[in-house]
């Protein structure tokens, strides 16, 4: 892809809807886009965005607004944050000003953990995204959502979502069923050629992703939808090939662990021999060869290797002080590294292992599920009932450890109690994943002369 000069990157602009705790917003900023507006309905998430704005979003602060017809800020001005229902927002003043519209519409309608009502669910906010597209005509769009969109039961409706994004100006009226509108859109699309360059149309790429394959220390299956305005001449086929090329793999991780003095163990020399032996014993004898980098692990994230930028290792959490809610990160100036008592593991709620990518960080309707926020430690105790005579100690992950698994910078400070901060993290886009796609979009626009 094209390497964009820093000064050119800063000229690009973005609008972020459904910003949540800021994962995709931080990613877009790191990819070189200047934010023109944020929207987020949840008050705690708004507080998080405001608290972290200068350090993580590249703006001179965020200004809560109630104006439903806002205008783009000038460089150096605070970015507006609209903290109310996006459906009431009129973004017409942003037309022609926005390079990238980004957002993750609420996923509960399509999530296996939600009620899965799909298009019947009032929380389905894809129509709000299409409305914003009509008002702003952005050059490109990034939309992240749960893999549940790809479930067979949603196949027809997900195709309808894609068709609406391809033809956003073919607006559906309320009394028309989505099936009838989809038939109308399909008839139009069937008549278009591959060379379609209508500025009212968009070309869409759907990418099923596992975040671990993009360098995130977490197994997180999602779907990323990217669209480019048809009149821009973007090579969509080249873009699709680039973003679907695997870069990190489980096989590469296993190869790095296979030998006793393999690269992974050299990076973590303090791992006890019995842990190393346990991990190596499960590695298959035959591992496929590839040119990928190793998956990043939970241990990598905690020790500061969770991204391409080395961070300080997080201090050890003292199991004897969990009930104190003691902040173990204060000695190195990191917030949110607070122990939490009461962790349990049981059937259906198995914990994270340090030498694998973490399990999917979840928000949870009733709080974070136990297994996804619990981790096995290196320490073990004698247990006659265990097959090998030992039981490994476990505890809850701290908010900071979870943020690192989401590739959030340590400057990110979540607002609210622990459960609320974990909810924001569980609903977010891993920064490294979002940044990869945002940079790819910027490069594709640059390659097309934009």
Q: What is the pLDDT of residue 57?
A: 86
Q: Take residue 205 and report the two structure tokens written for it.
A: 């790429």
Is the pLDDT reported for residue 193 higher than 70?
A: yes
Of the candidates 380, 248, 375, 393, the residue with the CA atom closest to the CA atom of residue 314: 375
The secondary element (H helix, E strand) that includes residue 14 is strand 12-17
Which one is catalytic: 46, 107, 143, 292? 107
Q: Which domain holds residue 204?
A: 6-247+430-447
The tokens describing 363, both together, are 């928000």
Verdict on whether the full-model pTM lies above 0.75: yes
Rounded mean pLDDT of 302-308? 96
**What is the mean pLDDT of the segment spanning 32-51?**
94
Residue 222: inside a domain, yes or no?
yes
Which is more confident, 234 or 175?
234
Are 44 and 50 a contacting pair, CB within 8 Å? no
**DSSP-assigned letters across all residues of 163-231:** HHHHSTTSPPPTTS-HHHHHHHHHHHHHT--TT---TT-EEEEEEEEEGGGGT-SB--EEEEEEEEEGG
pLDDT of 399: 96
CB 141 within 8 A of CB 234: no
Least confident of 35-49, 147-161, 426-440: 147-161
Tens of pLDDT, residues 377-412: 999 999 999 888 999 999 999 999 999 999 999 999
Same-domain check for residues 181 and 231:
yes
Beta pairing partners, 382: 390
Residue 105: pLDDT over 80: yes
Buried b (16+ CB within 10 A) or exposed e, 53-67: beebbbbeebeebee
Question: Which one is predicted more confidently, 155 or 296?
Answer: 296
Split at pLDDT 50, 70, 90, the class of 122 is low
pLDDT surpassing 90 at residue 76 = no
Residue 197 falls inside a structural domain: yes
End residue of a domain, out of 291, 325, 352:
291
CB 58 within 8 A of CB 435: no
Is 388 inside any structural domain? no
Q: Is the pLDDT of residue 114 over 70?
A: no
Q: Catalytic: 292?
A: no
Give the residue among 310, 330, 313 at the shortest CA–CA distance from 269.
Answer: 313
Q: What is the mean pLDDT of the chain?
A: 91
pLDDT at 123: 66
**One domain for residues 90 and 231:** yes
- Per DSSP, the three-state class of 422 is helix
Tell me the CATH number at 45: 3.40.50.150
| Predicted local confidence at residue 372, as pLDDT | 80
Residues 171 and 282 in one domain: no
3-state DSSP helix/strand/coil % of the chain, to nearest 5: 40, 15, 45
What is the pLDDT, as a whole number, of residue 368? 53
In a domain, 312, yes or no: no
| Nearest-angstrom CA–CA distance, 102 and 411 | 22
Residue 238, pLDDT above cutoff 70: yes
Which range is most confident: 105-114, 232-241, 362-371? 232-241
52 shares a domain with 118: yes
pLDDT above 90 for 165: yes
- 10 Å Cβ neighbour count for 342? 9
- Asked if residues 392 and 379 have their Cβ atoms less than 8 Å apart, the reply is yes
Same domain? 33 vs 177: yes
Q: In this structure, are 90 and 64 located in the same domain?
A: yes
Are 155 and 198 found together in one domain? yes
Burial class (CB in 10 A: 0-12, 13-18, 19+), 295: buried
Looking at the fold, whether 145 and 275 belong to one and the same domain comes out as no
pLDDT for the residue 346: 85
**279 and 202 both lie in a single domain:** no
Least confident of 3-17, 271-285, 315-329, 346-360: 3-17
Query: How many other CB atoms are there within 10 angstroms of residue 89's CB atom?
Result: 20
A 10 A CB-CB count for 298 gives 24
Q: DSSP readout, 30-90?
A: HTTEEEEEEE---HHHHHHHHHHIIIII-SS-EEE---SS--PPPTTSPEEEE-S-GGG--
Report the share of the chain in percent with pLDDT over 90: 78
Instruction: Select from 448, 442, 449, 435 the least CA-distant residue to 22.
Output: 435
- How large is the average pLDDT for residues 299-315? 96
Q: Classify residue 396: in a domain, yes or no.
A: no
Q: What percent of the chain is predicted at pLDDT more than 70?
A: 92
Does one domain contain both 188 and 94? Answer: yes
Number of separate domains in the chain: 2
> What is the average per-residue pLDDT within 116-144?
83
Residue 443 domain flag: yes
**Residue at a domain's end among 291, 318, 343:** 291
Which of 42-56, 71-85, 121-135, 360-374 has the least mean pLDDT?
A: 360-374
Collect all residues with Cβ–Cβ distance below 8 Å to 134 and sequence separation of at least 6: 168, 169, 171
- Do 125 and 253 lie in one domain? The reply is no
Q: Considering the domain boundaries, does residue 408 fall inside one?
A: no
End-to-end Cα distance, the chain: 14
User: 171 pLDDT exceeds 90?
Assistant: yes
d(CA 206, CA 269) in angstroms, rounded, equals: 41
Last residue of a domain, one of 257, 273, 291: 291
Judge whether residue 283 has pLDDT over 60.
yes
Q: Are residues 211 and 143 in the same domain?
A: yes
Tens digit of pLDDT for each residue in 325-353?
Answer: 899 999 999 999 999 999 988 888 889 99
Per-residue pLDDT, averaged over 74-79, amounts to 87
What is the average per-residue pLDDT within 117-144?
A: 85
Is position 171 within any domain?
Answer: yes
Which two three-digit tokens encode residue 277?
């032996």
């Amino acid at each position: 892809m094209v390497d964009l000069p820093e000064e050119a990157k800063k000229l690009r602009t973005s609008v972020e809807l459904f910003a949540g705790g800021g994962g995709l917003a931080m990613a877009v900023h790191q990819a070189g886009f200047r934010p023109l507006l944020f929207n987020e309905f949840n008050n705690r998430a708004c507080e998080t965005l405001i608290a972290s704005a200068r350090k993580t979003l590249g703006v001179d602060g965020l200004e809560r607004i109630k104006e439903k017809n806002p205008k783009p800020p000038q460089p150096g001005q605070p970015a507006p944050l609209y903290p109310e229902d996006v459906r009431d927002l009129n973004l017409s003043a942003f037309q022609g000003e926005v390079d990238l519209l980004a957002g993750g519409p609420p996923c509960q309608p399509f999530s296996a953990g939600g009620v899965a009502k799909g298009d019947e669910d009032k929380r389905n906010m894809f129509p709000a995204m299409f409305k914003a597209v009509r008002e702003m005509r952005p050059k490109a769009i990034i939309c992240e959502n749960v893999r549940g969109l790809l479930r067979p039961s949603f196949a027809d409706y997900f195709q309808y979502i894609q068709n609406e994004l391809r033809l956003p100006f073919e607006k559906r009226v309320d009394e028309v069923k989505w099936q009838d509108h989809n038939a109308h859109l399909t008839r139009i699309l069937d008549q278009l050629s591959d060379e379609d360059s209508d500025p009212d149309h968009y070309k869409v790429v759907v990418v099923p992703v596992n975040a671990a394959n993009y360098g995130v220390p977490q197994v997180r299956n999602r779907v990323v939808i990217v669209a480019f305005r048809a009149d821009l001449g973007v090579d969509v086929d080249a873009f699709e090939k680039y973003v679907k090329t695997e870069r990190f793999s489980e096989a590469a991780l296993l190869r790095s662990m296979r030998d006793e003095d393999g690269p992974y163990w050299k990076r973590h020399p303090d791992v006890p021999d019995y842990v190393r032996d346990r991990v190596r014993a499960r590695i298959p004898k035959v591992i496929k060869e590839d040119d990928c980098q190793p998956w990043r692990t939970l241990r990598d994230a905690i020790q500061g290797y969770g991204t391409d930028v080395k961070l300080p290792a997080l201090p050890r959490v003292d199991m004897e002080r969990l009930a104190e809610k003691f902040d173990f990160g204060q000695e190195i100036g990191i917030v949110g590294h607070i122990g939490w008592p009461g962790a349990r593991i049981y059937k259906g709620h198995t914990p994270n292992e340090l030498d694998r990518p973490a399990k999917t960080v979840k928000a949870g309707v009733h709080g974070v599920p136990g297994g996804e926020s619990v981790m096995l430690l290196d320490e073990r105790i004698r247990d006659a009932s265990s097959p090998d005579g030992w039981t490994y100690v476990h505890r809850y992950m701290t908010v900071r450890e979870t943020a690192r698994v989401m590739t959030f910078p340590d400057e990110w400070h979540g607002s609210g109690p622990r459960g609320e901060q974990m909810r924001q993290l569980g609903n977010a886009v891993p920064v490294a994943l979002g940044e990869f796609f945002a940079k790819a979009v910027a490069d594709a626009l640059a390659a097309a002369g934009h």
